[in-house]
Amino acid sequence: MTRVLIVILVTAMLGGLFLFGLLRGQPDREVESARLNRSVPMFELPVYPRYQPEFGPTLDVAAELSDRPRPMIVNFWASWCGPCYVEAPDLQEAWQRHGERVLFVGVQTQDRGKRAEGQAFVSRFDLGFPNVIDDDSALSIDYGLFGVPETFFVRADGTLMYKHTGPVELELLEEKIEELTAS
């Protein structure tokens, strides 16, 4: 009888702990980047065909920013990522409002060989800002990506101002763009 009570007690405690974990929601703080206030890697990666008339077969971020210095927002996504589908319309809207002052770049990563799915994602949301293909996920490693989606807000001097983990919403985009462009 004592063994049965112990098993029931342990099971109840584990169940309570599991329930606590489910109900506590999102963490209260962001997963910080070690690159905060440090330079982010510049990159040159292939772009989807819809962007090639403007950028050529690859987007060279360093060249793009040297021609016209401005802040940059880098959003990492994958075709299998549900939250990426949630945030895409907000990214498109922010780009429509601020694309002249801020370089937006979408990076398909952790999605090797899924170009058709990536093209479908870009087309589905009619994304006007360039989206590049990080087939080997090297750029996501260079940026210290925790997962997708993640969005990096980069100052005009190339240093990381802020990193957002999870789907980014229009309100946060507007707030951070204001910080990036205030001067």
Extents of the domains making up the chain = 29-181
Task: Quickly list DSSP for 139-164.
Answer: HHHHHT--SSSEEEEE-TTSBEEEEE
Question: Where would I find the beta strands (DSSP E) of 29-142?
Answer: 44-46, 58-60, 72-77, 103-109, 131-134
The answer, yes or no, to whether residue 162 has pLDDT greater than 90, is yes
**Which tens digits make up the pLDDT trace of 85-108?**
999 999 999 999 999 999 999 999
pTM equals 0.82
Q: What is the pLDDT of residue 62?
A: 95
Q: What average pLDDT does range 139-166 have in this prediction?
A: 95
CA dist 139 to 53, 78, 100, 165, Å? 24, 13, 25, 16
**Which tens digits make up the pLDDT trace of 118-134?**
999 999 999 999 999 99
Q: What average pLDDT does range 26-35 have in this prediction?
A: 58
For 29-181, give the CATH class: alpha beta
